[in-house]
Chains A and B, each alone.
Chain A
Amino acid sequence: MTIDASVHRGGDEPGRSVPAASLHVKNLLGIADLGADDITLLLDTAVAMKEVGSRAIKKVPALRGKTVVNLFFEPSTRTRTSFEVAEKRLSADTLNIAASTSSVTKGETLVDTALNLEAMAPDMIVLRHASSGACHLLSRVCRSRVINAGDGMHEHPTQALLDAFTIREHKGRLAGLKVAIVGDLLHSRVLRSNLLLLTRMGADVWVSGPTTLIPPGVERFGVRATWRIEEAVEGADVIMMLRIQRERMQGHFFPSLREYFTVFGLTAARARLAKPDVIIMHPGPMNRGVEIASDVADGPYSVILEQVANGVAVRMAVLYLLAGGVMEGV
């Protein structure tokens, strides 16, 4: 992020500068590209965006005349709707393209699909794809800004941002918090984005799951790994559960779902090991009775539905900040 207090944008009083800032990046491909100041700018902007969602008329004219393409090659309910609501609240025009209804089924490649869409001059493309790196590829061939809505097992940056926003709303900070992330660590793009973000912001992160689902070398992210969920959640300020992604599993990682729940599921008894004001998160969709017990998911410490609501505000912030420019010389 760069703050330039001397920026003057025309219409207002000359000489009275408008405080302005931009991200260091043109595209949101992953948290890996963001600095701590970028993350703070995004989260601060999202606070203002959240207020827009509480108004009777939930719409502001900021992105009037901008076109955003939502290009989704994987099934998604939450992320796609959340982006679409965010775009509409900022008055952008939106186009939704799902792989199942597009020419992809006729054999068109990702790049060809994107270039054809780009011929219609969209300003931004929001991409969800099953292959890691698909957004990076697209950003090299497209003029439009590219926003990663989840690429394979790589990153899901807006999810990590909305998780951080939710944590900050409850705890007032990220630095110094003990965050336990439990579940299918191996197949999770949410995990990677969250590890990058939380460690960058100074949180103390623990990960836990069956040893077969702990990625080798995860400690290099600066986190602590344990197969004992009790050790991870003890004294935690935040517990983040990850979904068991059966659709991505090739091979056997644990004997049965029932056994998984017995050893690694978040039950009320395990949640009690955490701090008394713990918040319990899940990026959805939840497998009740597999990674999380229903009474915990619906209990008073759960902020799972707040995460969904905050997703809209965070995505509005991403769209607004990327719709501007990068500071020259950055």
Chain B
Amino acid sequence: MPPVMDADRMGRTLTRIAHEILERNRGVHELAFVGVRTRGVPIAKRLAARIEEIAGVHVPTGALDITLYRDDLMRHAVGPQPLVRSTEIPFSIDDKKILLVDDVLYTGRTVRAALDALIDFGRPQSIQLVVMVDRGHRELPIKADYVGKNLPTSHQQSVQVLLEEIDGRDEVVIEG
């Protein structure tokens, strides 16, 4: 199947989302990005770079690992444990407007875990959700504030957001 989004389209989408963030928040005051590991982190960094280009202001960026907050941990008597990676949020999130960034929004369970994790770090003024792809099939009452592309899919399919920083190229593909 040909890619749903290529590098150009992803680039333009990120620029559009950066403008939307600035418009909706009336500037960059108190904004901070937190990317969900793995692929939310480079997306968050790119958005921060776009905003710096547009508004000339540096917006802090952190990385959040949600493994220890997963709702399916310990549900299996056998089987390996998900790898825990470091969370790095080098700023206080108190009273910040947090932009939580992930690549694909699907069941909403990852976002639920990320919200629980973030609240353990402090009390932000607000949390807004940014995703590259929303593929539907929510299992929790969660909605994205900024969406790169709405992509209706079936449960059997899988959506991959590939990123230069990790995968060597920018592309969104549907498999299966």
Contact = CB atoms under 8 A, between A and B. Distances in A.
A306 interface: no
Q: Which of A14, A59, A65 has the most CB of B within 10 A?
A: A14
B24 interface: no
A13 B158 contact: yes
B158 A326 contact: no
What secondary structure prevails in chain B residues at the interface with A?
loop
Interface stretch (B2-10, B13-21, B49-57, B115-123): B115-123
Interface in A24-75: 44-45, 47-49, 51-52, 55-57, 59-66
Given A48-B65, A61-B116, A21 B85 contact: no
B74 A13 contact: no
A18 B75 contact: no
Interface residues of A, number: 45
A12 interface: yes
Interface stretch (B26-34, B103-111, B144-152, B163-171): B103-111
Q: Which of A3, A13, A63 has the most CB of B within 10 A?
A: A13
Contacts of B1: none
B82 A18 contact: yes
Given A13-B107, A51-B86, A22 B65 contact: no
B175 A15 contact: yes
Interface in A268-320: 317, 320
B168 to A, nearest CB: 17
Contacts of A45: 83-84
Interface in B71-91: 71-88
A21 B80 contact: yes
B40 to A, nearest CB: 12
Contacts, number: 122
A12 B157 CA distance: 13
Interface in B40-78: 65, 67-78
A9 interface: yes
A110 interface: no
A11 B107 contact: yes
B141 interface: no
B104 A16 contact: yes
B43 to A, nearest CB: 15
Contacts of A12: 70, 72, 106-107, 109-110
Given A16-B158, A52-B68, A56-B121, A11 B109 contact: yes
B156 to A, nearest CB: 8
Contacts of A317: 84
B84 A13 contact: no
A39 to B, nearest CB: 15
A13 B104 CA distance: 8
A9 B82 contact: yes
B2 to A, nearest CB: 18
A208 B32 CA distance: 54
Nearest to B113: A11
Contacts of A48: 65, 67, 84-87
B130 interface: no
Contacts of A9: 70, 72, 75-76, 79, 82
Nearest to B139: A11
A202 interface: no
A215 interface: no
Nearest to A322: B81
Contacts of B80: 2-4, 7, 20-22, 324-325, 327
Contacts of B85: 48
Contacts of A44: 83
A15 B157 contact: yes
Contacts of B160: 15-16
Interface of A: 2-4, 7, 9-16, 18-22, 44-45, 47-49, 51-52, 55-57, 59-66, 90, 317, 320-321, 323-328
7 contacts: A9-B82, A12-B110, A16-B158, A51-B87, A63-B74, A65-B74, A324-B79
